Structure 1
C-alpha cells in the first residue's frame, strides 16, 4: 500500500512538472493586458486598446510604464516613417527635375551646335 502511494505521488509529481501551466491562471491582469497589447501591436502596427485599458485601470503598474514607453516609441517610429516617406518623395521629385534639366541642356547644346554650324556657313558664304 505504501509502495503504491509513493508511486502515485511520484507519478503526479513527474506529470505536474511535465505539463505546462495555463497562461493566465497565475498571471496578473495588468501583465495579461500588456502581453495582449504587445501581441496586437505586432499584428497591427499601432497601439492596442489593451494598452489604453491597462493605463486606465492600473496607472501605477510597472506594465503601464512599459506600455507608455512603447506607445511613445511607436509614435516616434511613425513620425520618422512619415519623414522618410517625405524625403523619398522629395528625392524622386529632385531626380525628375534633374532629368528634365539634363534633357533641356542636351537640347540647348544641340541648338547651340546648329547655330554654330549656321554661323560657320554664313561666314563661308560671305567670303
Structure 2
C-alpha cells in the first residue's frame, strides 16, 4: 500500500505573479508570502484547516490548473512513482527537480492530473 500523504496543496500556474500577489493579498486578504527557488519568485499562502495555495508564474493552458499536489512527508518519491506505474497509473511527468525538492505528476482513471512533491531533505527512495 502507498503511504498516505500528510498534506495537500492547490497549485496555480499564473501569467503574472505580481498581479496575482496583489489580488490575493489586497483584494482577498489571504496573505501570500514570497518564496525563493523559482524564477521569478513563487507565492505560498495558507487557508484555514491547513490547506495551502501555491502560485508559480509559467505558461500553462487553461484547464491545467489548479492542480492538487500531495506532500510526501517521509520522502520516497521514486518508490511511490514506481509503485503507481506498476499498478497501471499513467505517469504524466516523471520525477524531476522542483523548487525545494522533487515532484512528479500522474493522472487518475478519468484523466485528472495530480502531483507528488517531497522536500530535497528527504530520501528519494525508502528501500
Normalising TM by the smaller chain, what interval?
under 0.3
Q: Give the alignment's TM-score, normalised by structure 2.
A: 0.18
Flag the structure with more relative contact order, 1 or 2, with Cα contacts below 8 A and sequence separation at least 6. Answer: 2
Instruction: Give the number of the structure whose residues are more often helix, by fraction.
Output: 1
Instruction: Give the number of the structure whose residues are more often strand, by fraction.
Output: 2
